[in-house]
Structure 1
Amino acid sequence: MLGWLSACQPALNWREVRPAQSGALALFPCKPDTEQRSGMGLARCETGGKGFALSWADAPDPAQSGAALKAMAQALATKLGQPLPAAEALQVPGMTPLREAGQYRLAGSGGVTRLAVFAHGGRLYQALMTAPQDDAAAWESFVTGLRVEPAR
């Protein structure tokens, strides 16, 4: 599958990444830089004019994970000056099934932002792709490459 993705998108060099302390496996199209603080982290990279990021944080109250996911999506839409569209379905292997988990497409004059929010227990995740023009194939590769792994 990785060979097929590379052939279709030569600027993107897909690889599996397990950011330390994230509890997740992600498929990134470039080698991400990782930043960590207590209870949160960020892995991000840029290639072919597109930015890709996976961030994670521990919720103060795991019972409020659903509300936190909705707030994360709304905060990004507000920051971009866009209304928050209805969420599209999202399935990430290992995620906690919450109705607030979903993916969004936000388009504006500055480009397109794709967003996915999901949780595993009390850990919240946000996957993001930014680009001057939408690239549904790159987003699909990125979001379907996400996995939440059990603690080791």
Structure 2
Amino acid sequence: MAAALGACTPALNWRQVSAGTSGMMWLMPCKPDQATRPVTLRVANQDVQTSLLLQGCEASNMQFTFGQMVVPQGLTASDAIRAWRLASVAPLEAASTDVLVQTWAIQGAHAQTPPERAQVMIGTHQVQWVWFADGNKIYQAAVYGKAKDKGLPEAAETYFSGIKLP
């Protein structure tokens, strides 16, 4: 598998990363930095405060991030994912017709909340995201890059397909 990954994206040095003792693993093309920050999700005209644990790195002029948060009390995982998706897309000022959202499959998923995949191409930027839930946590993986970067869709596919739930 490593040889196949190296052949398809030679500038990216894919490595396995895990989320502590959760058993979840994913691939990243560079050594990630980690940060925790407060975030506000907007749900049903109400602001909900929570904390985001984010890992991220940059490789081949693309940014790769993996975020996780506990589902805020009083929300379902679906509501929290929807709010996170809207919060992620909002800074791009993309029209709703510019955002392609579809269901997505993840290895090991037994979730009642269907995973989602979204992509946006606007002006000079493109982004691909996935959101999914496992237990009381929700997750987002994302790849950000320039619109002209033809390697981003392939890198996103490799990144997202490397996510494995326990």
Match of residue 94 from structure 1:
108
From the two aligned structures, give the one with the greater strand fraction.
2
Match of residue 105 from structure 1:
119
Once residues 127 and 73 of structure 2 are traced to their aligned partners in structure 1, the CA distance between those partners, rounded to angstroms, is: 28
Match of residue 80 from structure 2:
68
Q: Secondary structure at the match of 2:76?
A: helix
Match of residue 44 from structure 2:
none
Q: Secondary structure at the match of 1:88?
A: strand
- For normalisation by structure 1, the TM-score amounts to 0.86
Provide Cα deviations, 1:39-58, integer angstroms capped at 9, x if missing partner.
64111110100110100000
Match of residue 34 from structure 1:
34
- Quick one: which of 131, 136, 143 aligns to 2:153? 136
Q: Which runs of 5+ in 1 are unaligned?
A: none
Counterpart of 2:129 in structure 1: which amino acid?
A: L
Aligned-pair identity (%): 26
Residues 27/81 of structure 1: CA separation in 2 closer, same or farther (3 Å cut): same
Provide Cα deviations, 1:7-28, integer angstroms capped at 9, x if missing partner.
2211101111113366521111
Match of residue 9 from structure 1:
9
- Quick one: which of 144, 147, 150 aligns to 2:164? 147
Larger displacement relative to structure 2 (109-118 or 81-90): 81-90
Match of residue 18 from structure 1:
18
Residues 42/23 of structure 1: CA separation in 2 closer, same or farther (3 Å cut): farther
- Quick one: which of 122, 129, 136 aligns to 1:122? 136
- For normalisation by structure 2, the TM-score amounts to 0.79
Q: Secondary structure at the match of 2:72?
A: coil
Greater Cα radius of gyration, structure 1 or 2: 2
Residues 26/125 of structure 1: CA separation in 2 closer, same or farther (3 Å cut): same
Once residues 22 and 81 of structure 1 are traced to their aligned partners in structure 2, the CA distance between those partners, rounded to angstroms, is: 35
